[in-house]
Structure 1
Amino acid sequence: MSDEQIIFNVIVCAGNARAKAFAALEAAKKGDFNSASSLLSEAAEEILKAHEIQNKLISREANGEGMNVTLLLAHAEDHLMAAILAKDLISEMIDLYKINSKGDD
């Protein structure tokens, strides 16, 4: 697999994670906290996949098999960090929705 294909896999996983996190937020808005929790778990799995790819790239570099730092690689890292941040913030927002929904009882 080429370096570009490996990098695109990070972008795909990060995009999937971000989409799942925002779907979780939508579920929470509707009061469907079971779906929200499940979707957040799926987002976490996608982030883990991206991290595993990232760790392989770091290991390669540590073993002297570095790759050129390209705009595409920087773009992938940006996507991954944005997905992680989105998931973390959305998790907190869902907790707030849960607290707010208890006040409606």
Structure 2
Amino acid sequence: MNEQEQLVIMQLIMAGGNAKGSSFEAIKAAKVGDFSTAEAKLKEADSFLSDAHNAQTGMLTEEAQGKKHPVSLLMVHGQDHVMNAITFRDLAREIVDLYKKLATK
């Protein structure tokens, strides 16, 4: 694995971790009724996930053009971070929506 591949993997790990953190902050904000902050944090999570998606797309494009990338434990770890962050963001969106409904009753 070369330095560029390691950099992309670290971007995946960081973006996934940041997205999950922002999603958790959205839940905490919604819990106390701060829905504008909750929405801002969900948008922030989406932005981090977009960064991860862009990093993945670059590697997929290279793969489609014939440049092979080794599948290492570090690569699997990076992809795992992104997938967990996507799931967590989706659940955070649902939880924020539930808190909004509870606040209007």
Query: Which category of TM-score, normalised to the shorter sequence, fits these structures?
Result: over 0.9
Give the TM-score normalised by the residue count of structure 2: 0.96
Which segments of 5 or more consecutive residues in structure 2 lack a partner in the other structure? none
Q: Distance in 2 between matches of 1:26 and 1:46?
A: 19
Q: Distance in 2 between matches of 1:66 and 1:36?
A: 40
Equivalent residue number for residue 7 of structure 2: 5
Q: Distance in 2 between matches of 1:56 and 1:66?
A: 12
Partner SS state of residue 47, structure 2: helix
Equivalent residue number for residue 89 of structure 1: 91
Q: Distance in 1 between matches of 2:85 and 2:56?
A: 14
Give a deviation string over 1:18-48, Cα, whole Å, max 9, x none: 0000000000001000000000000000000
Give the TM-score normalised by the residue count of structure 1: 0.96
The alignment yields a C-alpha RMSD, in angstroms, of 0.7
Partner SS state of residue 2, structure 1: helix
Equivalences, count: 103
Kindly, what percent of the aligned residue pairs are identical? 38
